[in-house]
Structure 1
Amino acid sequence: MSEAGRNGPDVPEMIPLGRGIAVQVPDSLVIDVPDTEVYDVVILGAGCSGLSLCLALLERGATGPILLVDSRTEYADDRTWSYWDVEPTRFTHLARARWTTWRVSTATEQVRSSALSTPYVSLAANDFYRYVLGRLAEYPNVRLLMGEDAIGYSEIANGLAVATTRFRVRGAQLVDSRGLRPTQGELDDIARRSTWVPQKFVGLHVVTSRPVFHADECVLMDFDVDQTRGLRFGYVLPVSPVEALVENVYLADVAVTEAEHRAELESYLASRFGLEPGDYEILGDERGFIPMTDHVFNQRPMPRVSKIGTLGGATRPSTGYTFLRIQRSSDETALRLLGNSSERGRTQTSRCSMLDRVFLRFLADHPERAPLVFARMFARVPAESLVRFLSDRSGPIDSVRLILALPKLWFLGSALLVLLRSVADRVPHDRRH
């Protein structure tokens, strides 16, 4: 299939920006003070979710005023989004690299898997930001208010009042896409009611003095690293034999400082690729916290308020993948805000299957067994089926293949705990005492 056919309409070619370079926001898009009395839609947070939704609204014919509010003062190259190319998106043409082969390693084996029709693709944040902000600047009804924190919002007659650091704006609809930043109390509540496996990582964009990377394959999980502090793996996305994003990832609720992450990355580069600090240049870095949880997020706290992105449950509970779910959620939310779809409660993009819940519970209870399980998954499940599962597009046959590949006895205890919790959740609160 052609690039235009796979990723929607023809799009202009863009020369990728170098990693670590911030994006210049179009002057026509940015305002210093609100310029409209009442906005049709106010979007809090202008990151991946907020920008994707705004573009989806515009492409579906939204002509009323839209305001994006974000606390950032610049669009830094602070993220990398990766996913399997299983469906069209507005942004896949921006992919910095593609791999049809990927590897999972443990201390005792290396497993490779390939799918020619659905490559694993990687998008750099600054390429994404530059493209979307440029597209938004083409529309006269969109404005971006930067360096402004949203304090809260409340219902008023015929709309909502939104308080920011300096202003009070009104909107007919509000979308909150600011990301999940729970307090410790909220974290404790989530942990009591659901399974919670935080994914924490720091990554470095490096260019080396000699070719050391295999550019034709990416390393999804390299568990052949020290596991004493918690479930940990290396993640390597090579752009060329001399350039790659290398991440240090924990799937554990452990306190790891930035300095410790970087020390472990230096050790990994030395042990795996023979690189000492003087052998490579760091173009940029990134860090993140991805909530892997089966907690049910309230996507509609008020009739005129929607929550999207990680705040709305877009992160896949068992894998942490989020980008494709954000795109699906953006289209669903745009259609609803424009009155082109019926109200259906929680969107499909936030669903959590029983298999997700069991797998997540297993990771939480038995992290020491995870390397073997992941290796077995990639070795025994056909690549196309596994890609569909990891991309939230699996059918019954794919699920059966996955279940058959997993060690049954190991997962029975986790399945029982999930079932007991599901039953308990259905019991009215006043009958539990």
Structure 2
Amino acid sequence: MRDTDIAIVGAGAAGLSLAHRLATTRPGIRRPSVVLVDAPAGPLRPAERTWCFWEEPHGEFDAALTAAWDTLRVHAPDGTAVAASPAPLRYKMLRSTSFESLVDARLAAEPNVARLAAVVEEIRDADDGAEVRTRTAAGHPLTLRARWVFDSRPLRVLPPARTTLLQHFHGWFVTTDRPAFDPRVADLMDFRTAQPAQGLSFAYVLPTGPRHALVEYTEFSRQVLDTAEYEQALNRYLTHELGLRHYDVARVEHGVIPMTDARFPRRAGRSVFRIGTAGGATRPSTGYTFAAIQRQARAIAVAYHRGRTPQPPPAHSPRSRAMDAVLLRALDTGRVSGASFFTGLFRHVPMERLLRFLDGRTSAYEDVTIGLRTPVAPMLRTAAELPRLPKRRAPAPVPGAASRPADRKET
């Protein structure tokens, strides 16, 4: 048996961010003892993945960024492009290994933080706290007793929802034989892809140099594709839309993120809370998660340091969740063309305001003005029917992204 103030299960973006917020605080505030539990090396530990988000320059994780862009571009299905600066915001790309190295270095200087490589078998409430029952890499049982436990592991089953779509994507880190990318511009959405009957598809291009970029094919739909279908879509996009004939694929990234109007319970026991995607941090309409994780972690740390119950707050406002529910239903029913919907928003709404809107940081007045730029009639029809729709359970996909070396694919 081992005692600690706080146990954090999972050392991904949510777990590391929370440990960082709890441990690195201003002088004079008591730092809790924290044990960060992560799965041993092997199939239970997530592979390297990519996170993208927008914020102002000089962010606290800027030293670990792979790239950042001051211009964002969206291509309509007919090929016309909308490009604009989101200033004062920047679009940032962060690889999980770089983030982990940066935060690990900071936590290494904190004597109150300990790491434990173990498989978590059970979490349950106990007297004045909770117990985390684990099995170490050597196969030995070890029980942690903590005042508070924060669990970031993916849910096995999603909560009931009216609409559940999947954001599934397959990307290649490509190197070309000639300069082919503008490192100053990120293609956020390129709708010159074959659109599914329901939902939407797009490609995006994140250049890290004139000859290097992450190129991903993404769909919002009910079902994932097989590997051959993703590769066919990527090959077509690279050759037909980007005009590339010769390129090398160094790494492959694949992921599935739930897009659902379900309510994610953030409390799993008297002293047990869920964080990250399991705690509702993923924005239902976009799949973006990293920025919401940071807000959630900051709020938990503030509550703890002020002596309050550190229950994670909702990552997104009721107004944002309601708008997302309408959009997901409209996309799922086919009433709204996803390509036209997003292209219209980027064409008619200033880029900085639209990014704040996608992050849930716009005012009610701004939300109304943005809503008037959408297909109003089908959106209103969808909003009116939502209260009458039953909620159903759906199986949970594996959230996040997995990255692995390619089998030296060249074309």
Q: What is aligned with 1:80?
A: 50
Query: What residue is the counterpart of 2:398 in the other structure?
Result: none
Q: 1:31 aligns to what?
A: none
8 Å CA contact 2:189, 2:202 repeated in 1: yes
Which position in structure 2 is the counterpart of 1:178?
A: 153
What amino acid is the match of 1:132?
V
Look up the match of 1:161. Answer: 131
Answering whether residue 182 of structure 2 is matched by residue 217 of structure 1, we say no
Q: CA 1:239–1:42 in structure 2 vs 1: closer, same or farther (change >3 Å)?
A: same
Residue identity opposite 1:234 in structure 2: A
**Structure 2: distance between partners of 1:98 and 1:268:** 23
TM-score after normalising by structure 2: 0.84
Counterpart of 1:95 in structure 2: which amino acid?
L
In structure 1, runs of 5+ residues without a counterpart are 1-35, 426-433
Identify the residue that residue 294 of structure 1 maps to in structure 2. 261
- What residue is the counterpart of 1:115 in the other structure? 86
Aligned residue in 2 for 1:41: 6
Distance 1:309 1:375, change over 3 A: same
The alignment status of 1:275 with 2:231, answered yes or no, reads: no
Q: Which secondary structure does the structure 1 equivalent of 2:111 belong to? A: coil
Q: Deviations over 1:224-261 (max 9, x none)?
A: 11224752110111112111111111101113123432
* Counterpart code for 1:80: T
Aligned residues: 377
- Match 1:239 to one of 205, 208, 215: 208
CA distance in 2, matches of 1:138, 1:70: 19
Q: CA deviation at 1:211?
A: 0.7
Deviation at 1:91, TM superposition (A): 1.5
Residues 111, 329 of structure 1: CA spacing in aligned structure 2 closer, same or farther, 3 A cutoff? same
Counterpart of 1:351 in structure 2 is 317
Contact 1:386–1:398 (Cα < 8 Å) also in 2: no
Residues 259-288 of structure 1 show CA distances to partners (whole Å, capped at 9, x for unaligned) of 432332223222222334xx3233322222
Out of 100, 110, 132, the residue aligned to residue 129 of structure 1 is 100
For the 8 Å contact 1:318–1:359, the answer to whether it is kept is: yes
172, 194, 197: which is aligned to 2:162?
194
Tell me if the contact between 1:86 and 1:391 (Cα under 8 Å) persists in the aligned partners: no
More contact order relative to length (CA 8 Å, sep ≥ 6): 2
2:76 to 106, 109, 125: 106
For the residues of structure 2 that align with 1:116 and 1:312, how far apart are their CA atoms?
Answer: 30
Specify whether residues 368 and 357 from structure 1 end up closer, same or farther in structure 2 by C-alpha distance, changes over 3 A only: closer
Structure 1 residues 329 and 228: CA distance shift in structure 2, 3 A: closer
Equivalence for 1:144 = 115
Could you tell me which residue of structure 2 aligns to residue 322 of structure 1? 289
Q: What corresponds to 2:403 in structure 1?
A: none
CA-based RMSD: 2.4
State how far apart, in whole Å, the 2-side matches of 1:84 and 1:250 are.
Answer: 21
Check the 8 A contact 1:163/1:169 in 2, yes or no.
Answer: yes
* Structure 1 letter corresponding to 2:148: Q
Structure with a larger share of its residues in strand:
2
Structure having the higher helix fraction is: 1
2:303 corresponds in structure 1 to 336
Contact 1:294 1:352 in 2 (8 A): no
Q: Does the CA contact (< 8 Å) of 1:201 and 1:249 recur in 2?
A: yes
CA distance in 2, matches of 1:272, 1:81: 25
Q: Retained in 2: the 8 A contact 1:314–1:326? A: yes
Distance 1:229 1:152 in 2: 42
Query: 2:190, 2:13 → 1: CA distance?
Result: 27
1:204 aligns with 2:172: yes
Which of 31, 39, 55 is residue 20 of structure 2 equivalent to? 55
1:411 aligns with 2:379: yes
Secondary structure of 1:149 counterpart: strand
Unaligned runs of 5+ in 2: 392-411
Q: Structure 1, residues 48-98: CA drift from partner, whole Å, max 9, x if none?
A: 000000000001355443211122517887211111215975324433222
> Cα distance 1:297–1:415, how it changes in 2: closer, same or farther (>3 A)?
same
In the alignment, the residues of structure 1 paired with residue 352 and residue 62 of structure 2 have an alpha-carbon distance, to the nearest angstrom, of: 19
Give the 3 Å change call, closer, same or farther, for CA 89–152 of structure 1 in structure 2: farther
Mean CA deviation greater in 78-87 or 295-304: 78-87
Cα distance in 2 for residues equivalent to 1:399 and 1:419: 21
